[in-house]
């Protein structure tokens, strides 16, 4: 059950309540967002379902100043450029590590942005190219406090089935799931003002046959190094306590952590719902075939005809259950899984701010030690070492000043990124609500038209 409610206060508050009931649990998620205009928005069949991203004019002139929610919405409602991106046509080509052919995806782009020389072009990229793109932009922009959309996770079992050439329903479902996830990933990347202007992103969108990414393998040297770094960061997070001077960051981080827990519970409930629907489809299909076989051997013609009609009804019900299973999976479960990972990326930008703060504290501590060492040299009357001590102090004073500017810049970026994430989060959830409503409404349209 999905419902969307609106209530008016001094500003319009969009309240999204998503409730999923399964035989094991009921989970309810509440999302709120404040907009600057006191008006009710009706969500129609927007281009989100058609892979369209409207890019604000500010993408050409990015700003690093702190923006409120109202300013961000006003910025995105200004001059906009259309950017349609789609990932289609998964196709097995080539050989990959002696495991057989690997899937390659077609990335198509149609845009009116002046930064692109062509308004429509298409390239083919491997899954490792998507992971390589994430590694490149993450290495540059995550240090600045940007929220980097995470790509879909690897699946050893699914990729093994695809590479060995096993053609079955589970393999086709895995490829379609990956295609849709890669498409959503690219849409989030190009919707980010800073990431769209990155040369690596433009190269990915415009160039075929990129150099193979070698840092994306889990058991490679860089992969193991990343695992060690993550473990080290986790230890530092537990041992370092930041003296937060801005209550906004403390409250927002708590909100993000709580929201991540709620979304994880909600995703688990939706995943359980999808599994139960799959089981219902399987049992309905078995029942339909059994009734059909029973009707074929029944000697009484009236009873045989009734059993055959019942088998047809059950077969149609199995198809409807199958369609509902796909809707629950691709509309609800997949989007929730994406946002669980996105909230992890939001936490990472808070952690990056903490790292910059820690570096500033260490520099200030080192500067204090240098000044104390200079005082000791003055007290001991050692003029031959004073000049070196003064040079060290000047060096560390410049470092402290630079780290202070870095901390202020990252703080500003994190605040802006979180506000932008909140706007897009509520918009995405509202569009998901519409998609669920549309999926449930369309099967009944012919019946209602017939009644009218």
Q: Which secondary-structure segment (H or E) carries 372?
A: helix 334-380
Q: pLDDT, tens digit, for every residue of 363-412? A: 999 999 999 998 988 888 877 888 888 999 999 999 999 999 999 999 99
Residue 341: pLDDT over 80:
yes
What CATH architecture applies to the domain 247-452? Up-down Bundle (1.20)
Give the mean pLDDT of the chain.
Answer: 77
Pair 262, 31: CB distance under 8 Å? no
Helix (H, G, I), strand (E, B) or coil at 35: strand
What is the structure's pLDDT at 101? 64
Residue where the block lists tokens 């910059």: 356
Instruction: Let me know if 420 is exposed, middle or buried by CB neighbors in 10 A (0-12, 13-18, 19+).
Output: buried
241/28 Cα distance (integer angstroms): 32
Cα distances (Å, whole numbers) of residue 266 to 251, 260, 334, 339, 387: 22, 10, 12, 11, 63
Q: pLDDT, tens digit, for every residue of 198-213? A: 999 999 998 877 666 6
What is the structure's pLDDT at 384? 80
Question: Of 5-14, 261-270, 359-368, which gets the smallest average pLDDT?
Answer: 5-14
Domain 44-212 bears CATH identifier 3.40.50.720? no
CA angle 173, 174, 176 (to 5 degrees): 65
Q: pLDDT, tens digit, for every residue of 427-442? A: 888 887 767 766 776 6
Higher pLDDT: 447 or 44? It is 447
Residue 305: pLDDT over 50:
yes
170/164 Cα distance (integer angstroms): 14
- Average the pLDDT over 176-195 and give the result: 92
What is the structure's pLDDT at 318? 93
Picking from 181, 333, 351, 184, the residue whose alpha carbon sits closest to that of residue 257 is 351
Indicate the domain borders of the chain: 44-212, 247-452
At residue 116 the predicted structure's pLDDT band, cuts being 50, 70 and 90, is confident
Residue 214: pLDDT over 80:
no
Alpha helix stretches (DSSP H) within 69-168: 69-76, 127-141, 156-163
Residue where the block lists tokens 């490679």: 220
Q: pLDDT, tens digit, for every residue of 91-109? A: 877 654 545 567 789 999 8
Alpha helix stretches (DSSP H) within 197-333: 199-206, 221-239, 247-297, 301-327
Model confidence pTM above 0.85 = no
Q: Strands across the sheet with 120-126, in order?
A: 52-56, 80-93, 102-111, 120-126
- Average the pLDDT over 244-269 and give the result: 92
């Amino acid at each position: 059950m999905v419902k969307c409610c609106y209530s008016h206060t001094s500003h319009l508050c969009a309240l999204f309540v998503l409730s999923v009931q399964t035989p094991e649990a009921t989970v309810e998620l509440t999302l709120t967002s404040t907009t600057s205009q006191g008006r009710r928005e009706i969500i129609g069949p927007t281009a989100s379902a058609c892979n369209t991203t409207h890019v604000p004019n500010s993408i050409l002139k990015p700003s690093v100043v702190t923006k409120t929610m109202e300013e961000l919405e006003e910025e995105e409602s200004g001059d906009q450029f259309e950017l349609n991106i789609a990932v289609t046509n998964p196709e097995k080509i080539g050989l990959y590590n002696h495991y057989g052919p690997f899937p390659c995806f077609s990335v198509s782009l149609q845009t009116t942005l002046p930064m692109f020389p062509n308004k429509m072009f298409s390239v083919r990229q491997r899954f490792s190219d998507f992971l390589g793109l994430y590694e490149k932009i993450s290495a540059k922009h995550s240090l600045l406090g940007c929220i980097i959309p995470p790509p879909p996770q690897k699946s050893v079992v699914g990729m093994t089935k695809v590479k060995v050439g096993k053609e079955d329903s589970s393999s086709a479902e895995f490829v379609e799931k990956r295609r849709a996830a890669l498409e959503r990933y690219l849409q989030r990347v190009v919707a980010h003002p800073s990431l769209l202007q990155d040369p690596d992103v433009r190269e990915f969108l415009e160039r075929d046959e990129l150099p193979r990414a070698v840092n994306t393998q889990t058991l490679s040297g860089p992969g193991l190094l990343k695992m060690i770094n993550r473990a080290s960061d986790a230890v530092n997070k537990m041992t370092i306590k930041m003296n937060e001077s801005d209550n906004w960051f403390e409250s927002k981080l708590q909100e993000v952590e709580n929201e991540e827990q709620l979304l994880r519970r909600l995703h688990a409930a939706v995943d359980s719902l999808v599994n139960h629907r799959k089981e219902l489809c399987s049992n309905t299909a078995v029942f339909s075939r059994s009734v059909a076989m029973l009707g074929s051997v029944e000697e009484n013609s009236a009873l045989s005809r009734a059993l055959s009609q019942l088998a047809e009804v059950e077969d149609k019900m199995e198809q409807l259950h199958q369609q509902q299973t796909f809707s629950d999976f691709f509309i609800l479960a997949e989007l929730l899984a994406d946002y669980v990972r996105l909230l992890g990326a939001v936490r990472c930008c808070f952690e990056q701010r903490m790292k910059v703060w820690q570096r500033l504290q260490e520099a200030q501590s080192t500067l204090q030690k240098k000044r104390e060492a200079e005082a000791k040299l003055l007290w001991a009357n050692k003029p031959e070492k004073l000049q070196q001590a003064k040079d060290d102090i000047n060096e560390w004073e410049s470092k402290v000043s630079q780290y202070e500017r870095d901390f202020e810049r990252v703080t500003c970026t994190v605040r802006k990124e979180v506000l932008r994430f909140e706007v897009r989060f509520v918009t995405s959830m509202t569009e998901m609500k519409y998609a669920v409503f549309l999926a449930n409404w369309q099967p009944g349209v012919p019946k209602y038209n017939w009644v009218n």
